[in-house]
Every structure is written in C-alpha cells, then in structure tokens.
Amino acid sequence: MSGVFSMNPLHLVAVTGGTHGNEMSGVTLVKHWLKDSTELARETFTAVPLLANPEATEKCVRYYERDLNRCFTRDILNSTESQDEPYEVKRAREINREFGPRGSVNAYDVILDLHNTTSNMGVCLIVSEAHRHLEMHACHYIQTHLPNFDPQIFLYKEPGSELYDLASVSKAGIGFELGPQPQGVVRGDMLQKMKTLVKVTLDFINHWNQGMEFPAFEVDVYQRVGHVQFPLSPDGEVSAVVHPSLQDRDFFLLHPGDPAFLSLDDQIIPYTGEQPVYPVFINEAAYYEKNIAFILAKKMQVSVPALSSTSQKRTL
C-alpha cells in the first residue's frame, strides 16, 4: 500500500465537485450537499462536501488560470505562496492544508472527486495505481452493486510519473468520471448516476468501518499508457477530426490500421501504433488545448488481496 494509511476506521471523508468548474454533475451535487448534507451521512461518519474550484465554477469554465487537477504536484505543494501565482496553485495548497497534507497521518481518509467528460466514458472509476487496495475494493464494490452502470476502472498514473490530482491529497482517492455530458450542462440521468455512485461508495466505507470483510478478487483495469494527438497542418491548425467510426468507442479495442481520423478533405487517417490499444477520453473537449485526440490504455487483469479493517496491518 503506497499511502500512509490510517488503519481504521475511515472517518474523514470528503466529496469534491467543481474541481473542473464546468463539469456540472459534481458542481450541482456539491452545491446541493452544502445546503443539505443528509445524503452524505452514515452511521459511522458524515462526508464533507467541497466545491473545489469556486472561481472556475462561478465562471463555468474548467479552470480560471491553471488546471487545478494538475496542481497537486510535489513542487507546488511544497513551495511557499508567492504573489502573482495562479489562483489554482494557491487553491491546491489550501486544499492540501485542509484535506491533507498529502502523505501525513492527518490527511483525510478518502476523497471522492466528481468529474464529467464529453467522451463516451460511461461510468469510469479513476484510481492512481493498481496497488491502491482500498480504492480497488471500493471500485469492486461499486462494480458488484451497480452492474447496470457497467463501471470501468482506469489507472491514470503512468509508471514513473508523479501524482498531480486533487484526490491524491487524501490517503485514498477515487475519481468518478461520467460521460458523455457537455461542459456546462447538467443531464438528469448523469446526475442520478453520480448520486448513486457516491451513495454506494459511502455505503462501502460505512461497511468497512463496521468491520465487514472484503475477499480477494481479480479484476480488469485499463492502465493509461500514452495518448494520440490530432494531426496538424503546417500552420498549426487541426487538420482532421476523430473519425466517426472511432467516436464514442471508448474502451473498445483499436487496431493498427483502423480509422483514427478523418481529414477535412475527407481522407481516412489510420491509427499507426504497433499494438492494439484501448482508446479512452476520445474527443474530450478539455484536451483540445493540448491537441490531444484520445488517451491510450492497455487492459490488464490485477489480483487484489482480501481486505478487512482488522487484518489491514497484515494485508496492506
């Protein structure tokens, strides 16, 4: 277990929305829970709602000056505040002070961070790495209790890269990524799904606190391994769009030679990777500024050991 794990129980739990201010399921739910947090209460704890980026939420944009969910790096969290630094850099340190500090015994036990994507990601559960056993058990619990949602597990941290997301501040962190939903729009169906995901995960934490044992299991996960950029013309403009046959096919295998893009003069541009891969976050609006057309993942099966609040010292 990589985190400095507070053994048991899990009392300090936060549900964060508006980390990206135009991802409206989380924004809407957290604003609601800030008025009435009844839905976040369990026998053994009450989760704290947090509107993570109020400035971006107010403006209904992803971020005001810098992507908050990339600001939780070691360098930023360890540096001292200076004038003229981006709003989100200050905000990341504030959140780390209040819900972390990351890696400390005082850090929150769990953060659930609520996101939406314009991609057809369905219900995606984001964890940093496969050896985060508590998170993996939570994901498995969600998969078992909400099979109709067909939740997929995505491991965002590529080997060798560092943590940078808000949920990394706590001892355990999961991102819920629901799509497709346009930026700035609340879809009722997505809102209900997000609410149900939070409910079931809080139930899991409550069961954990009450001493439930969670047996070992094997599960398929999607490990991020890279990304593909849009083709550019010599003037730096995007010269092709995601091919219609790839659009909405998140979590479906893409083979070398399959259509990846359609140029503006109607030429098919194939995927040129050497191996079949699973594209995810296909045509996500927020990645256009980086010219990223989709993220690549490989599918892996991982074995997760049994976990119980009394056996943690042994199994973790």
Which residues in this chain contact a second copy in the complex, by CB under 8 A? 28-29, 31-32, 36, 60, 118, 180-189, 191-192, 237-238, 241-244, 247, 262, 264-265, 283-285, 288
Kindly provide the b/e burial profile for residues 111-149, where b requires at least 16 CB atoms within 10 angstroms of the residue's own CB. bbbbbbbbbbbbbbbbbbbbbbbbbbbbbbbbbebbeeb
Closest CA to 114 of 165, 71, 169, 174: 174
**Residue owning tokens 């078992």:** 144
- Measured from the CB atom, is 76 or 197 closer to a second copy? 197
- Measured from the CB atom, is 39 or 129 closer to a second copy? 39
How far the first Cα of the chain sits from its last, in Å, is 5
Strand (E) positions, the chain? Answer: 13-17, 48-51, 110-116, 122-127, 152-155, 172-179, 213-214, 217-229, 240-242, 259-263, 268-270, 278-280, 292-304, 307-308
In angstroms, give the least distance from the CB of 157 to a second copy.
Answer: 26
CA distance 38 to 26: 16
In angstroms, give the least distance from the CB of 196 to a second copy.
Answer: 11
In angstroms, give the least distance from the CB of 34 to a second copy.
Answer: 10
In angstroms, give the least distance from the CB of 260 to a second copy.
Answer: 11
- Measured from the CB atom, is 152 or 183 closer to a second copy? 183
- Measured from the CB atom, is 219 or 238 closer to a second copy? 238
- Measured from the CB atom, is 132 or 243 closer to a second copy? 243
Cα angle: 106, vertex 112, 117; to 5 degrees: 145
- Measured from the CB atom, is 33 or 251 closer to a second copy? 33
In angstroms, give the least distance from the CB of 24 to a second copy.
Answer: 9
In angstroms, give the least distance from the CB of 229 to a second copy.
Answer: 15
- Measured from the CB atom, is 119 or 168 closer to a second copy? 119
In angstroms, give the least distance from the CB of 3 to a second copy.
Answer: 33
* The amino acid at 66: R
